[in-house]
């Protein structure tokens, strides 16, 4: 049982770290769109953005692996509890669907960032500010689903 709590703790830590990148990468894009004509600042922001994007991939990967252990660990680890009761996994499927949406968003933001390095134009800073709010629309229901397990 102790191993379950350690796995769950690190899963949550890596999810939080990944979500930090999901929330902050669009902010870097806003700053990039507002600093046109300042090559030194643009270069620094691109470097920060790419490092953060790579960090986000690592955090997502670790959270994903530990999430699989939480989901299926009972099949290979003796006395490891499962968080999914037979026939009661609807909440998990809904959560995973929203996580896929967040992952697609994260990859899209990364492509925008890589596009800047290739000379592509970004949307306006106002549009990017709205784009920055999208992850919250998925993250709130994810947290609710995990806590309430409504179905």
**Model confidence pLDDT, tens digit, residues 66-82:** 999 888 877 777 777 77
Q: Is 93 annotated as contributing to ligand binding?
A: no
What pLDDT score does 87 carry?
65
> How far apart (Å, rounded) are the C-alpha atoms in residues 112 and 117?
9
**Confidence grade of residue 86 (pLDDT, cut at 50, 70, 90):** low
pLDDT on residue 4: 87
What pTM was computed for the model? 0.90
Listed residue (144, 143, 137, 4) closest to 70, CA to CA: 4
Beta strands in the chain (DSSP E): none
**Biggest alpha carbon–alpha carbon distance for the chain:** 60
pLDDT over 80 at 85, yes or no:
no
Residue-wise pLDDT for 10-37, tens only, equals: 999 999 999 999 999 999 999 999 997 8
95 labelled ligand-binding: yes
């Amino acid at each position: 049982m102790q191993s379950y709590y350690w796995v769950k703790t690190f899963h949550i830590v890596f999810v939080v770290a990944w979500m930090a990148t999901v929330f902050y990468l669009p902010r870097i894009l806003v700053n990039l769109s507002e600093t046109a004509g300042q090559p030194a600042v643009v270069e620094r922001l691109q470097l920060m953005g790419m490092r953060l994007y790579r960090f986000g991939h690592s955090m997502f990967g670790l959270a994903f692996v530990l999430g699989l252990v939480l989901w299926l660990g009972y099949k290979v680890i003796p006395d490891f509890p499962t968080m999914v009761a037979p026939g009661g996994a609807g909440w998990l499927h809904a959560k995973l669907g929203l996580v896929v949406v967040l992952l697609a968003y994260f990859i899209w933001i990364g492509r925008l960032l890589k596009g800047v390095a290739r000379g592509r134009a970004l949307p306006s800073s106002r549009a990017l500010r709205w784009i920055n709010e999208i992850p919250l629309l998925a993250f709130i229901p994810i947290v609710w689903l995990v806590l309430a397990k409504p179905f």
